[in-house]
Structure 1
Amino acid sequence: MIGWWGIAERAADVPETRAEEIHDDRDRAVEALFSEHRRSLIRLAVLLGADDAEDIVSEAFYHLYRRWRRLRSTDAALAYLRSVVINRTRMRLRHLQVARRQLQRDSGESPAVSSEALALLRDDQRAVVAALASLPDRQREALVLRYWMELREREIADAMGISPGAVKTHVSRGMAALTRAMEERR
């Protein structure tokens, strides 16, 4: 029989506690995800219409770091990051729409698009981006995740928080709308 002093002696022999190991694993894992996926997540936020894509991605990694222990598995981390980027972009766009409407009401002006941004895109690209921007949010998100991020339906469903069947519907309707818009342009 071991008394309390035997347990204390054994505990003193352990070099690191389990909490420190988990913390180190989290640091390494988040750092690896950041270096490997940061650019694609920024691209995702930009394609969804974010003005501050780098800030949104930084916030996503912050949220991942804080909630690391709550993940089902470490394999779910990338899907979690994508969903945070999508949700934060939605929130920012909603906020900007409200702010711009209020500004327009106050000043009586129409919204202006940056001339530098338009000059950088070629004519066809401009048309696709304009047609993409005119789509409903869910269709635009599904198309960006499917064709620019090259995700599978299940990954898109997880990122958007919808079913795979809904992903198919949004992609199909979005592609039909883009096709109509590009045919009208010709």
Structure 2
Amino acid sequence: MTTTTDLSGITSRPGRRGLTADDLAELYAAHRLSLVRLALLLVDDRASAEDVVQDAFASLAGRLHQVREPHAALGYLRTSVVNGSRSALRRRRTARGYVPPAEAEPPGPDDRAVLAEEHREVLAGLDRLAPRQREVLVLRYWSGLSEAEIAEACGISRGSVKSTASRALDALELILKGEGR
């Protein structure tokens, strides 16, 4: 059987379709350094350049059966390295532009006093609700139970939990606005 070597460095055999793992190994040995140099010129960072080339070869490894001609593999790798370099630069630009949110200042004495007063108002409003409504709201918002857990704890259906919670919130809103009972 006659074999020839094309520009990609892969030995091609007549009648063969797709690339093999051996072809990929040959490509890697023959072109990894030149592809890393290409990526390095684009991303200006050796670690990123090596990552880009690694990703390009990994992507090609997943598509070996789709590449029909060996010389197309090298073109695919070059294109993949250029696109990967662009993506790396975009990620780097985005990361540099990110400004973490400012840390919130701890609440001062005035803030704590206002919050304490709001809590007292809510607790007083809860006392004015019907017992079942108060139970459902306390189990849901203070205990963090799910509708199913509340239903089991109160001995009612999940639908009753939903409707009771909805009515209780409406009633509590009216109480807190000063319009209720």
* Structure with the largest fraction of helix: 1
- State the TM-score, normalized to the length of structure 2: 0.43
Q: Which has the higher contact order (CA 8 A, sep 6+)?
A: 1
TM (normalized to structure 1)? Answer: 0.41
